[in-house]
Amino acid sequence: TPVVGVLALQGDVREHLIALASADAVARPVRRPEELADVDGLVIPGGESTTISKLAALFGLLEPLRARVRAGMPVYGTCAGLIMLADKILDPRSEQETFGGIDMIVRRNAFGRQNESFEAAVAIAGIDGAPVEGVFIRAPWVESVGASVEVLAEHEGHIVAVRQGNALATSFHPELTGDHRMHELFVGMVRGHAAAGS
């Protein structure tokens, strides 16, 4: 059974732990570099990306996490987590650093200016059956992607789900619904990577 961590500095950690357990992973919060070293994959939750960025630096996680992402550890970022996986943010706060991992440019709070929060059905490439119910909360969108990034979903013409290699990201929060298919997709990626590596 794959061990999947949830970066537990700030944000909706508990909901991800529950969703991962439902998707047949052993789920653990990760706050320290030693805890990061022990997981097969990592979820970066929604919350506030500027705060996650500051706390990651404070907890000495910025460099270890960048190194593991570069080395191919599967990661899944939701909302603020998607922002943290962007190689470039269009409108960063001055102190805001990301982990990187996906060759994309992200616009923070892109959907939030009109609507603080909304739900929409999102059809995801690679997930069969009904569309996923996407919960968007001051959500970013992906402004543009490099050639090696797969676009998995769009909402009203804006990219809201992407994958590059072992890095997966969505603008929305699937952990806030009872539908765990996004987490199952990610746990499948973690399983595949663990099987290939050992």
Q: Among all residues, which ones are annotated catalytic?
A: 79, 173, 175
Q: Is 138 annotated as a binding residue?
A: yes
- Of 48, 97, 103, 154, the residue at the interface with ligand GLN (CB under 6 A) is 48
Q: Is 154 annotated as a binding residue?
A: no
Pull the structure tokens for residue 71. 């080395």
Q: Where are the alpha helices (DSSP H) in the chain?
A: 13-22, 33-37, 49-58, 62-70, 80-84, 181-197
Q: Map residues 49-78 to x or -, x wherever contact with ligand GLN holds by CB under 6 A.
A: x-----------------------------
Q: Looking at 47-55, 63-71, 99-107, 122-130, which segment touches ligand GLN (CB under 6 A)?
A: 47-55
Instruction: Tell me how far apart the alpha carbons of residues 153 and 77 are, in angstroms, rounded to a whole number.
Output: 15
Instruction: Tell me how far apart the alpha carbons of residues 46 and 129 are, in angstroms, rounded to a whole number.
Output: 25
Burial code (b: 16+ CB inside 10 Å, e: under 16) for 36-60 equals beebbbbbbbbbbbbebbbbbeebe
CB of 83 to ligand GLN, least distance (A): 5
Could you say whether residue 171 binds ligand GLN (CB under 6 A)? no
Instruction: Tell me how far apart the alpha carbons of residues 44 and 82 are, in angstroms, rounded to a whole number.
Output: 8
CB of 156 to ligand GLN, least distance (A): 18
How many residues touch ligand GLN under the rule CB under 6 A: the total is: 11
Q: Answer yes or no: are the C-beta atoms of 182 and 90 closer than 8 Å.
A: no
Q: Which is nearer to ligand GLN, 137 or 168 (CB)?
A: 137
Could you say whether residue 98 binds ligand GLN (CB under 6 A)? no
Instruction: Tell me how far apart the alpha carbons of residues 121 and 179 are, in angstroms, rounded to a whole number.
Output: 12
Could you say whether residue 163 binds ligand GLN (CB under 6 A)? no
Binding site for ligand GLN (CB under 6 A): 46-49, 79-80, 83, 108-109, 137-138
